[in-house]
């Protein structure tokens, strides 16, 4: 049986209420050509002391409260609950992957103030983003060079999904919800992802039904949960108070499914 790889995904939202999706490369090993939320698997650097020293929002109390997933009755799960250190690593991975894939950075200055996007040197940051993505510059060194601290407190855990055991590629994925920082423009990296766009959840689902947007099952289910909200404030409030149930979809005639009673509960 394949062991799932830990991964992090960010549902990035902006007013009035749109989410950011990027189209995965046609050459991607996972979901080629599909529109997905920015994210990816954890990297060794996400657990390194250097990046932990440059990250906020990793306090034990906050991590324990956020990573609150429970396994619902009726669904089998072969994975143990995430431990605190892995939860911290997943949080850092979410911040790094969002920066790499969408060019959006949640960070604060040494004084604790959000970084001033208007005065930042975005041409330099764009170049450094490529270096972080390519592995020639660590995320920690990038942050240190600007004397910034990645802000994990900007992320709210929304859900926890694990790929079914029968799949060749399995992921233990934590989905975070976040409101886009002001003054920053999301831009797909043109390497792993292309065609980044802001879109209302209901519109994305309508495009899928029309056959003009390829979406994978977890993205479809998340968009369906979000389509009833009309503001980022209401969606964020929901994310903060909702239960988090670990979902392992079942293989169902070549597709995936979850029990009907869990459709609006996870």
Choose the weakest-confidence range: 114-118, 179-183, 192-196, 262-266: 192-196
pLDDT at residue 75 in the model? 75
| Residue 190 pLDDT class (50, 70, 90 cuts) | low
Is pLDDT at 72 greater than 90 in this prediction?
no
- Residue 66: CB partners within 8 Å, gap ≥ 6? 87, 156, 157
Q: Rounded to an integer, what distance in angstroms lies between the CA atom of residue 237 and that of residue 158? A: 11
pTM: 0.94
Is pLDDT at 116 greater than 90 in this prediction?
yes
Q: What's the mean pLDDT in 193-216?
A: 94
Average pLDDT over the chain, rounded to an integer: 93
Is pLDDT at 78 greater than 90 in this prediction?
no
pLDDT at residue 81 in the model? 86
pLDDT at residue 67 in the model? 97
pLDDT at residue 42 in the model? 98
Q: What's the mean pLDDT in 184-201?
A: 84
> Is the Cβ–Cβ distance between 47 and 55 less than 8 Å?
no
Query: Tell me: the pLDDT tens digits for 209-218?
Result: 999 999 999 9
- Residue 155: CB partners within 8 Å, gap ≥ 6? 10, 57, 91, 94, 95, 106, 176, 177, 178
- Residue 110: CB partners within 8 Å, gap ≥ 6? 147, 149
Query: Tell me: the pLDDT tens digits for 221-257?
Result: 999 999 999 999 999 999 999 999 999 998 876 689 9
| Residue 117 pLDDT class (50, 70, 90 cuts) | very high
Query: Tell me: the pLDDT tens digits for 156-173?
Result: 999 999 998 888 889 999
Q: Rounded to an integer, what distance in angstroms lies between the CA atom of residue 10 and that of residue 172? A: 14
pLDDT at residue 193 in the model? 67
Choose the weakest-confidence range: 42-46, 80-84, 85-89: 80-84
What is the fold, at CATH topology level, of the domain defined by 5-262?
Nucleoside Triphosphate Pyrophosphohydrolase (3.90.79)
Domain locations along the chain = 5-262
CA 151 to chain centre: 14
């Amino acid at each position: 049986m394949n062991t799932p790889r830990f991964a992090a995904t960010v549902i990035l939202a902006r007013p009035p209420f749109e989410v950011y999706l990027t189209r995965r490369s046609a050459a991607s090993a996972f979901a080629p050509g599909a529109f997905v939320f920015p994210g990816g698997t954890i990297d060794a650097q996400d657990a390194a002391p250097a990046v932990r020293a440059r990250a906020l929002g990793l306090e034990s109390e906050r991590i324990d409260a956020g990573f609150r997933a429970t396994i619902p009755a009726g669904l089998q799960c072969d994975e143990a609950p995430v431990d605190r250190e892995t939860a911290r690593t997943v949080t850092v991975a979410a911040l790094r992957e969002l920066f790499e894939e969408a060019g959006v950075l949640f960070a604060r200055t040494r004084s604790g103030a959000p970084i001033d996007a208007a005065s930042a040197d975005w041409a330099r940051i764009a170049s450094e983003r490529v270096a972080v993505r390519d592995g020639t510059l660590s995320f920690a060194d990038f942050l240190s060079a600007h004397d910034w601290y990645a802000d994990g407190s900007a992320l709210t855990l929304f859900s926890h999904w694990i790929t079914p055991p029968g799949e060749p590629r399995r992921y233990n994925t934590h989905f975070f919800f976040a409101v886009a920082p002001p003054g920053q423009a999301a831009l797909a990296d043109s390497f792993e992802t292309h065609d980044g766009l802001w879109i209302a959840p209901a519109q994305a689902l309508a495009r899928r039904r029309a056959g003009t947007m390829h979406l994978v099952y977890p993205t479809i289910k998340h968009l369906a949960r979000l389509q009833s909200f009309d503001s980022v404030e209401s969606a964020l409030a929901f994310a903060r108070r909702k239960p988090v149930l670990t979902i392992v979809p079942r293989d169902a005639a070549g597709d995936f499914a979850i029990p009907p009673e869990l459709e609006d509960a996870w």
